[in-house]
Amino acid sequence: MLDKKQMITIKGTREGLSLFIEESASFDDAIKELNEKIMASKPKKDEPVVSVKVKLGNRYLNEEQEQVLRRIISGENRFHIESIESELIRIEDALKWQEESEIKAINRIVRSGQVLYIKGDLLLIGDVNPGGKVIATGNIYIMGNLYGIAHAGSEGDRDAFIAASYMKPTQLRIADYISRAPDYEADGVYMECGIIDEEQDKIIIDSLKILSHKRKEISGFERRMNNG
Amino acid sequence: MGEAIVITSGKGGVGKTTTSANIGTALALMEKKVCLIDTDIGLRNLDVVMGLENRIIYDIVDVIQGRCKLKQALIKDKRFDYLSLLPAAQTSDKTAVTISGMKEIVAELKQEYDYIIIDCPAGIEQGFQNAIAGADRAIVVTTPEKSSVRDADRIVGLLEKEDMKESPSLVINRIRNHMMKSGDMIDVDDIVQLLSIDLIGIVIDDDEVIKASNKGEPIALSPNSKASIAYRNIARRILGETVPLQSLEDDKGVLMRVKKFLGMRG
């Protein structure tokens, strides 16, 4: 008596509608029932657009299926898909996610002309010499001297930062921001970090203390979860 | 079985050839059998510094292309029986030398000599790759100048990728003590810290070096000059002796210290 069982459940909440799709039902059956339900309950022209959260449970949608779903719900009907949530994630995506959220520890000297590129956070135990370059999609932590170029958040993460035991960098880059060393001879700084300051709209170098209130997320796992 | 040491720097004009000539001479003075190889094809001058230019008949390209035997191309030094030179070609095409050709030559020389000193051309192209191909260890020469240290750093990075028996060591050349003191030159300690390789010698900037090389007599032969002692110390360190670094103070300083020492006793 499977077909008697509801495959689609719609619940109203304060934020909008939640649409549950029974995970054991076949996709085609579920879509069929969804079509009927949507047609029956779609808002009228003069009513406001309703936002919908789609909850898939333990079901994974491939791109094609997701498009079908989106077309039915938001296509001609006056629904707006707020999110599609699934408990599942592909191994491929999970590995990529893991790679991007890991801290990679590397013990070497990045010498002039060398480039070290890392996905995720970089923990470099060693120096970056003048002319050397380190790039990471996440944060850069250097236990050593930073004389060369460091580029954190290389894929656009403006919350990334660069911390070093000692820094006298040629350039600091964070996401699409670049700052360079002054033209006059200046001393380097110990135990400081480079970070984007929203108000000044540029990279500033400050003591590591500011991280504890400006980048609270680094101590938790959540930041990396969110980044993924 | 001998050891092959390549003398390299990346940047030109920091004293690779002078260093090669003098380390070779100093090792020969200690009765080691030494063969110098000049790999700077087209711009050879190790023979000039050694004062052996007029003795060249065949060169390294002739050996590689099979126009002569290796032994025929070797020039015996006019001062020591222990010292030989394999000169670079002056006219031939640079591409004539290959990595495998170099390896063969070095391997053959290692049978007969205790030390093979390879003078590397400037740059990081094929000539550099050839020069380091047969080497067991490398000595990187730098001067206390930013550009020279930067290039040395690049070279050390490239050398680390090679499979050499020992990690490279460093010679800091042309030190001017008064400039280092006033902070106008990079400090020896700062250079060593930045490059983080073993320091095997420091050589003071000495007018005598230029005079000697113009005469074709390596400075290592002169008994008392500071640069000469420095090169001989490097040779001793290559042989495994522990020799303290030379004082950078000038003679007056040394005298003052002796006086102070005597004063303390008296």
CATH for B207 = 3.40.50.300
Q: Which of residues A216 and A164 earns the better pLDDT score?
A: A164
Contact A105, A123 (CB under 8 A): yes
pLDDT of residue A156: 93
Name residue B224's amino acid. Answer: N
Phi, psi of A140, rounded to the nearest 5 degrees: -125, 120
Q: Cβ of B147 under 8 Å from any chain A Cβ?
A: no
Instruction: Determine contact, residues B16/B122, Cβ cutoff 8 Å.
Output: yes
φ and ψ at residue A87, rounded to 5 degrees: -80, -10
Residue B153: its chain A contacts at CB < 8 A? 111-112, 129-132
Chain B residues whose CB is inside 8 A of the A131 CB are: 150, 153-154
Q: pLDDT at residue A221 above 80? A: no
**Per-residue tokens: A74:** 């938001």
pLDDT at A4 over 60: no
How many angstroms separate the CA atoms of B182 and B185, rounded? 8
Show the DSSP H helices in B5-122 as ranges. 16-29, 46-50, 60-64, 70-73, 99-112
Same-domain check for residues A101 and A168: yes
| pLDDT band, residue B193 (cuts 50/70/90) | very high
Q: Which of A85, A115, A146 is the last residue of a domain?
A: A85
Q: Is B71's Cβ below 8 Å from some Cβ in A?
A: no
| A148 and A213 in a common domain | yes
Residue of B nearest to A132 (CA): B154
φ/ψ bin of B51: left (φ > 0), alpha (ψ from -120 to 50), beta (otherwise): left
pLDDT over 70 (residue A94): yes
Residues in chain B with CB shorter than 8 Å from the CB of A109 are: 157, 196
User: Which is nearest to A144 in space by CA: A180, A111, A177, A179?
Assistant: A111
Average pLDDT over residues A156-184: 94
Instruction: Give me the number of domains chain A comprises.
Output: 2
Instruction: Give B249 or A167, the one with higher predicted confidence.
Output: A167
Asked if residue A52 has pLDDT above 50, the reply is yes
One domain, residues A111 and A65: no
Residues A42 and A71 in one domain: yes
Query: Which of A24, A57, A85 represents a domain boundary (last residue)?
Result: A85
Both A81 and A139 in a single domain? no
Any bridge partners for residue B141, and if so which?
A: B171
Q: Enter the ipTM.
A: 0.80
Q: What average pLDDT score do residues A193-212 get?
A: 92
Between A61 and B141, residue with greater pLDDT: B141
Residues A157 and A138 in one domain: yes
Nearest to B126 by CA among B152, B101, B151, B160: B101
Residues A145 and A169 in one domain: yes
Using pLDDT thresholds of 50, 70 and 90, give the confidence band for residue B266. Answer: very low
Range name among A13-17, B72-76, B162-166, B213-217 with the lowest pLDDT average: A13-17
My answer on whether A107 and A62 are in the same domain is no
Whole-prediction pTM: 0.78
The helix (H) or strand (E) run that includes residue B125 is none
Of B154, B195, B196, the CB nearest to A131: B154
pLDDT of B94 > 80? The answer is: no
Query: What does the pLDDT average to over B9-27?
Result: 95
Instruction: Based on the fold, state whether residues A50 and A100 are members of the same structural domain.
Output: no
Q: Which amino acid is at A148?
A: G
Percent of chain B with pLDDT over 90: 75
Residue A148 near residue A169, CB atoms below 8 Å: yes
Domain that holds residue A104: 94-227
Domain C-terminal end among A57, A85, A113: A85
Mutate to test the interface with A, among B145, B147, B193, B194 (most CBs of A within 10 A): B194
Give how many domains chain B has, as a whole number.
Answer: 1
Identify the residue whose tokens are 């000697």: B212
The residue among A184, A118, A115 whose CA lies nearest residue A155 is: A118
Determine the pLDDT at residue B260.
Answer: 60
pLDDT at position A136: 96
List phi, psi (to 5°) of B40.
-85, 80
Cα–Cα distance, B169 to A165 (Å, whole number) = 26
Could you tell me if A61 and A105 lie in one domain? no
Q: Are A78 and A137 contained in the same domain? A: no
The Cα–Cα gap between A9 and B88 comes to: 86
- Note the pLDDT of residue B264: 55
Residue B139 has pLDDT above 60, yes or no: yes
Confidence tier at A93 by pLDDT (50, 70, 90): confident
Q: Which two tokens stand for residue B152?
A: 């040395």
A112 contacts B154? CB cut-off 8 A: yes
Mean pLDDT of the region B158-162? 93
Task: Kindly state the average pLDDT of the residues B88-115.
Answer: 91
| pLDDT classification of B93: cutoffs 50, 70, 90 | confident
CA distance A84 to B35: 75
As a dihedral over the C-alpha atoms of residue B95, residue B167, residue B209, residue B131, rounded to 10 degrees, the angle is -10
- Under a CB-based contact definition with an 8 Å cutoff, are residues B5 and B238 in contact? yes
Per-residue b or e along A108-147, where b marks 16 or more CB atoms closer than 10 Å to that residue's CB: ebbbbbbebebbbbbbbebbbbbbbbbbbbbbbbbebbbb
CB A106 within 8 A of CB A90: no
Mean pLDDT of B200-224: 91
